[in-house]
Amino acid sequence: MRDFLRSPVARLWVPVLGPAAVLAYLDRGTDAGDLTYFVHRGDQLLSGGWADTFANPQLQSGPLQLALFGAVRDLGALAFLIELGVAALLLYVLGRLGLSDRARLAVGLLAVASGLTHIAFVYGHPGEAVIPLLWVLAGLWAREGRVLAAGALVGLSAGFELWGVLGVAVLLLAPRLTRAVAGACVQAAVVAAMLAPFVLAGTFRMFDYEWRVTSGTVIGLLVGPGAHFGWPLRVAQASLAVGAGAALAFALRRTVHAVWIAPLGVALVRLMLDPVSFGWYWLEIEVLVLVAAGVILNELPRRLPASRLRRALGAQH
């Protein structure tokens, strides 16, 4: 028992996942927003009519997310899976960034207290929290030279929501540009492999969808609410977001902070240029700010003593 109480499980995972599980228990009977729709589409994906899953252009979810939701089906079980999964993934990514257990505990508790896990379920869009974390992890792998794995991970992130492809910017954290290009090729291959069966075997109309610009958005100020915003404009929006993230990744690639700053740049530009605005979109920003807070919090004990020493030496002279 004493060894267990001293283990990371008792000191980190249980204190964070415990409250997350309590929230999931309370949320299990609530309206889960678009999640019910995704579960139904997941049922179709896992049925004999899978080839026409994306025949309705309104469906903009990735196939991995649909398969997961369709396999679980029960909303109560999904509450636990999503809320515990988001919390666990956050703790894992923070650990890969080298954060101490104390810093990870503080960030994990803050994530649960601020509603990150709760909103990921009740709005039915867990990808908004999961995808940025996968980008951070892919950026870390790219910095370590594991570029092909990083590209595959970014590609898999698009299996939750297609905008996951924008994480290609973090591949520029690779030691060499040629390696970043190789990672991007792997990413493209993964995305193509996920979507090709639906394109070749059924009716695929995801790219036929058009959004209507809503009030309260930057685009709404420029073109007015109600204007059509189709996939050609989505590509332009994506290009600007990736460009911003790529510039940050290239400029800051020597520092570990680039693994969260580059994704944050992508997310901010994407949201700023989005034709619609939903509350769950801001999960992207929240989760990246939590990662940033963890990295900075982890660095403080090393920086503060050094600054005190410099001041002391300066006073002596």
Per-residue model confidence as pLDDT tens for the chain (317 residues): 565 556 778 889 999 999 999 999 999 988 888 999 999 999 999 999 999 999 999 999 999 999 999 999 999 999 999 999 999 999 999 999 999 999 999 999 999 999 999 999 999 999 999 999 999 999 999 999 999 999 999 999 999 999 999 999 999 999 999 999 999 999 999 999 999 999 999 999 999 999 999 998 999 998 889 999 999 999 999 999 999 999 999 999 889 999 999 999 999 999 999 999 998 999 999 999 999 999 999 888 766 655 554 554 455 55
Residue pair 75/39 in contact (Cβ under 8 Å)? The answer is yes
Give me the sign of the Cα torsion angle 17, 129, 53, 76. Answer: positive
Domain ranges of the chain: 2-298
Please state whether beta strands 211-212 and 228-229 pair in parallel, antiparallel, or not at all (unpaired): antiparallel
Name residue 80's amino acid.
Answer: F
N- to C-terminal Cα distance for the chain? 54
Residue pair 48/144 in contact (Cβ under 8 Å)? The answer is no
Q: How far apart are CA 54 and CA 290, in angstroms?
A: 34
Whole-model pTM: value is 0.93
